[in-house]
Amino acid sequence: MAPPAPASAVFGNGTAHSRDQHRCLEAAYDPVTLPRLAAAGVGPGWHCLEIGAGGGSIARWLAERVAPGGSVLATDRDPRDLVPGPGLEVAALDVARDPLPEAAYDLIVARLVLQHVPARDAVLPRLVRALRPGGLLQIDEIDASYEPPLLTPDAAAEALYVRFLRAKSAAMRAAGGDPHWGRRVPAALRAAGLTGIDVHAHIGVRHAQDPGLGLQSNHTRNLRDRLVEQGMTDEELDRVRRLMRDPAFRAASSVFYSVRGRRPGEGDR
């Protein structure tokens, strides 16, 4: 059977916008992702794979954690923003198409990646097979169906922000993504054969100094062409940026799900 067609990448790497996006992602979500990995017991001698490693903050943390004797392979379709280091290798990988070794890893982690992969449900069993018996898969994803504005100057500003959110979700769907997939991850991991499914949900309040809102502002530029395709104008995007810089602006974040499961079998850590 031929491999699935590659996803139309919504976000690229190797640009000023991508590097800013990585900084915002790390500041917004590392405080959730890294403690979850620590609680999973990641330690010396573990062999880890990261899918869609982006700017590499998770991979760098893992490399320090698994030393001595462990290893981390950080992968991305475009790994230009990744830097190898002690115990940390970097490789190009399209998780929807490229082969993975069988029973090779104690931990596989993917954050905000599979929502962009049209064949996401077909990818999960391949990730499970790449785990050693007893190995862990952690998938961190958002559900963007809930991220409403809470405080805006007026009804027009509220409507503009909602319009931006809807345009962004439509752009993701047009590229084969599912911006609501986070809520479906627990059931998807169970269907892929994992056990001991552990679910953590995080939601916050966005404001002008919040990296999550900084990420939204980044998207007005990073996704400019796709947002225009969905009917937004440059003038509207500029107004959205000004709104998000307003110190009085508040919005709920999307729901961020961190979901972990274990491959059954001997060797449980």
pLDDT at 17: 81
Cite the beta strand spans of 18-70 per DSSP E: 47-51
127 occurs within a structural domain: yes
Query: What CATH number is attached to the domain comprising 232?
Result: 3.40.50.150
218 occurs within a structural domain: yes
192 occurs within a structural domain: yes
What is the spatial distance between Cα 27 and Cα 32, in angstroms, rounded to a whole number?
10
172 occurs within a structural domain: yes
> What's phi and psi for 51, nearest 5 deg?
-95, 130
Measured CA angle at 221 (ends 53, 214), to 5 deg:
65
Residue 269 pLDDT greater than 60, yes or no: no
Q: Are 47 and 109 in contact (CB under 8 A)?
A: no
Token output for 268:
């449980």
pLDDT at 18: 83
pLDDT at 45: 98
Structural domain containing residue 73:
16-262
- Look at the chain and report how many structural domains it folds into: 1
pLDDT at 4: 37
pLDDT digits (tens, 9 = 90+) for 26-70: 999 999 999 999 999 999 999 999 999 999 999 999 999 999 999
pLDDT at 10: 60
Residue whose pair of structure tokens reads 């007893």 in the numeric block: 134
253 occurs within a structural domain: yes
pLDDT digits (tens, 9 = 90+) for 213-244: 999 999 999 999 999 999 999 999 999 999 99
154 occurs within a structural domain: yes
3-class SS string, 171-225: HHHHCCCCCCHHHHHHHHHHHCCCEEEEEEEECCEECCCCHHHHHHHHHHHHCHH
pLDDT digits (tens, 9 = 90+) for 64-100: 999 999 999 999 999 999 999 999 999 999 999 999 9
6 occurs within a structural domain: no
Cite the beta strand spans of the chain per DSSP E: 47-51, 71-76, 88-92, 105-111, 131-143, 149-151, 195-202, 205-206, 250-252, 255-262
How many Å from the N-terminal Cα to the C-terminal Cα in the chain?
A: 35
42 occurs within a structural domain: yes
